Chains A and B, each alone.
Chain A
Amino acid sequence: MLATIGIGSVDELFPSVPAALKAKAALALPDGLGEREVLERMQALADANELLPSFQGAGAYRHFVPAAVSLVMSRSEFATSYTPYQPEVSQGTLQAAFEFQTYVARLTGMEVANASMYDGASAFAEALLMALRVHKNRPRLLVSAGIHPEYLEVARTYLEGYGRGQIVEIALAADGRTDLEALQAAIGSGSDVAAVAVGYPNFFGVIDDLAGAGALARKAGALCISVTTEALALALLRSPGECGADIAVAEGQSLGLPVSYGGPGLGMFATRTAHLRQMPGRLVGQTVDEEGRRGYVLTLSTREQHIRREKATSNICTNQGLAALCVTVYMSLTGRRGLRELAIENTQAAHRVAERLTREAGLALALSAPFFNEFTIEVPDCEAAFDRAVAGGVIPGVKVARLLPGRPEHKNRLLVTVTEMTRASDVDLLIDRLRSRAAA
């Protein structure tokens, strides 16, 4: 190879790198390891993480992943393929993405969906940016305080310095739903409101009045955005589209992906056809080849950064393709009946645990509005009770104050999540560990 190039050694390959920049010393890193040693090191790191029975959700959910999902994920033809820029040799990825878009549109009750975003939080931020594009002269974005705090923080990060858009937080009523009177007051005449966004179900597990918020948004001529962290809920609840949402975003991790310390999951993003040209992200469309056979291609890319550059609808390029495939396989397996039945099983299980916590552990639900598979309880001296439960072998939930520090109303609130993975013995342990103190 060196002779073909016309040089004598690999060191001569870098004539364009100025001598002053060339590394004088080797990288100060250890030498490489063999595969067995690497996997031993990785196993040791993994073993340094404890897998306790857990009632944590709050945006990352433990659900059963069927073996068939894992099988398809491990197909290296999917896992190691590139973005499908050459459609003739990428029909697998393209068709799966087309099926994904169809599933997401149907699950959310919308007309079109993209091929995925990074996660629910950045999808929410992109939805707000899209609302500002649809309504160029309307700066205000009214967002419910029930939206996941990390999603709100990501939205603020995206909007900071963007030059347009002003986020106004709408408080929750005592029952945990968005205070529609406060929302109406904030809307005012409404002519400067680009969007109203509501968590559905919201961060506290509450099934918010999306239709109510949507009606107020519509009256003001603003877009309504629904924001979902637990996508399984959408298999049972009235769809965002049916409730009047114009954009539905969701985190899709719960549909077939492990929690994996919070990533990768994926953002789902759906809207109405009227807003198609303002959508961010990749889209796959159906077309034909020269012989008229059905096939799929990346399409409407004139919205995207590689064509429009600084005028693109988003800077997104790589998305979460393999995670979207995972969701696609999961929805195919569970199908029309299985997904809904699973959602029912989840909500039943969560309601049973809530009932036992109130009856047997003497704890009170913090919010009275209906919930899906997670709910908020008041735990006296929550911080200490949490630590004791962990010491006692169960992670009892997510301390709301961890995400919303400095708000007195949340000081003793614990967000408890129950899924089909929750075992009876876990519930007994939870009751036992939380009861010991509540009674004292």
Chain B
Amino acid sequence: MKRQLEPPIFEKGSVGRSGVDVAVGSTDIPLDASLLREELDGFPEVSEPEVVRHYVRLSQLNYSAATNFYPLGSCTMKYNPVANERAAALAGFAGIHPYAPDATVQGALALIRDLEQWLCEISGLQAVSLQPAAGAQGELTGMKIIRAFHESHGRARKKVLIPESAHGTNPASATLCGYDSVSIPSDARGLISAQAVRDRIDEDVAALMVTNPNTLGLFEEDIVEIAEIVHGAGGLIYMDGANMNALMGVAKPGHMGADVLQFNLHKTFSTPHGGGGPGSGPVAVRADLEPFLPRPRVIERDGRLAWEWNRPQSIGKVRSFYGNFGILVRAWSYMLANGGDGLTEATRTAVLAANYVKARLRGRYHLAYDRPCMHEVVLTDRIQARLGVKTLDVAKRLLDYGFHAPTIYFPLVVAGALMIEPTETESLETLDDFIEAMECIAGEAETEPAKVREAPHETVLSRLDETRAARFPVLTWSVQQARP
């Protein structure tokens, strides 16, 4: 049976239905009528079977890591082990209140402390906060820490150096901290050179934000010299840890000169991406930056764990409570299962897989940089573009072959980029199937380019009109807009 579209929930149900038992108790409301709203107009009246079928059907319109392989570069869409879900659902985790007395939540505090310590060991840094809710909030937190550090030394400084290959969150986070972004071009190797940093460094530079390996999947080979240049001018190194899956057990950011780094637990440590979160973006810092971390911090006091709120130099809180705790539980379960040896093996296998994909597709697709890659590889549409087939077309045609598209048109420094990150969890057969699909599409681009240009053909919908969506925004359901 071909999959069907599903009408919005607002077009279902009938007056009087509900998916829960509606108490017909006293309607005696102990509040003055002037404080109350009208009925919840515009909410549907649907039964439990209608609701369950509706959302299960919607789920079936989704591509997911549980069903297929995601080659999404910079996203680290590895398989999400199911045991982690069971752990997070335990009543002793899901049911505890954030203001419960510390003495009653020693298990949660121990988990937080141990997870922090493991992240220290992996990063080569000395202190970690698990509070940030996602990678971008981790960046914001890290940059606030850098600002607080400079202010404690007299002045905040004015600007941040950011490679042009960086993720867009980097400059956006710098702006939120009151810093101007100064772009550093990539050189012919796809790297930032020590000279490019030397040319731009001065006493107004608060930090260099660097992703290593960078978004081209390449290790920043000059990183030690670059860090020395920045440190020499009194600046700090912020390392975007989005690509930590390339480094675990292989090299430590702390040894590269990184002073601050954010992790993405929903990438490297396999917590499910949830269609866009919740994630978790812990921040690691070197020892002398610890006082600036968000408060509160877990400490040991008289043999018990407790939250310490008295942190006069802290940048303050960046979100309520202690972070996305349920995500921390999943990550911890994943880390226990892997151990130091398993995490190292994950990195080595991920890098192996990326280099294998690269070796197999060399020649069929243009390589943005033909150098040894780390955990991901960037191809371009240069060969296919001559035939009138663009990156977007290749991406859409892959959907017909049952694969998600790679990350496309990113990094911005590569025209027509197709960024592939296979991760360590895919079998050789899956990689070969994907490679074969890519090869077939390269062939189709030569023999029947229209078929690629008009893809996808097999999905529940064909290409969607994004211009119309932006020009005439319909952001909520209404009777008038129900029939487009």
Contacts and interface: CB of A to CB of B under 8 A. Distances in A.
B326 A289 contact: no
Given A66-B19, A153-B316, A285-B470, A315 B36 contact: no
Contact of B319 (A116, A119, A238): A119
A66 B20 contact: yes
B5 to A, nearest CB: 7
A92 interface: yes
Nearest to B156: A161
B66 A76 contact: yes
Interface stretch (A35-43, A136-144, A360-368, A423-431): A35-43
B336 interface: yes
Contacts of B167: 306, 317
Given A323-B278, A372-B31, 20 more contacts: A32-B338, A78-B62, A81-B274, A84-B276, A86-B63, A86-B396, A89-B404, A93-B276, A99-B8, A105-B475, A112-B476, A118-B133, A234-B37, A258-B95, A284-B475, A287-B464, A293-B5, A335-B18, A342-B23, A347-B29
B321 A60 contact: yes
Given A45-B92, A237-B36, A72 B169 contact: no
Given A41-B336, A78-B59, A318-B266, A333 B19 contact: yes
A91 interface: yes
Contacts of A334: 18-20
For the complex of A and B, list the 10 residue pairs with the smallest distance between their C-beta atoms, beginning with the closest: A262-B321, A46-B92, A48-B107, A322-B274, A29-B340, A262-B98, A321-B276, A333-B19, A32-B339, A76-B66
A329 B463 contact: no
Contacts of B22: 337-338, 341
A288 B172 contact: no
Interface stretch (B47-55, B197-205, B440-448): B47-55
Interface stretch (B69-77, B229-237, B382-390): B69-77
Contacts of A122: 133, 137, 318-319
A314 interface: yes
Interface residues of B, number: 191
A147 B417 CA distance: 46
A157 B320 CA distance: 12
B343 to A, nearest CB: 7
A312 interface: yes
Given A45-B107, A90-B62, A6 B359 contact: yes
Nearest to A83: B276
A5 B355 contact: yes
B484 interface: yes
**Candidate in A5, A77, A111, A116 with the most chain B CB atoms within 10 angstroms:** A77
A1 interface: yes
A33 B341 CA distance: 11
Given A49-B104, A119-B133, A260-B325, A27 B464 contact: no
B110 A88 contact: no
Interface string A296-334: 110111101111111110111111111101000101111
Interface in B320-374: 320-327, 329, 332-333, 335-344, 348, 351-353, 355-356, 358-360, 371-372, 374
A153 B296 CA distance: 12
Given A162-B177, A262-B320, A1 B278 contact: no
Interface in B128-154: 133-137, 139-140, 144, 147
A332 B136 contact: no
Given A38-B337, A49-B92, A288-B468, A160 B66 contact: no
Contacts of A101: 475-476
Interface stretch (A16-24, A190-198, A213-221): A16-24
Contact of A102 (B256, B469, B477): B477
A128 to B, nearest CB: 12
6 contacts: A39-B333, A59-B320, A80-B64, A95-B61, A237-B36, A318-B279
Interface in B386-405: 395-396, 399, 404-405
A261 B104 contact: no
A319 B134 contact: yes
A263 interface: yes
Nearest to A75: B59
A148 interface: yes
Contacts of B90: 42-43, 46
A183 interface: no
B13 to A, nearest CB: 7
Nearest to B325: A261
Contacts of A109: 37
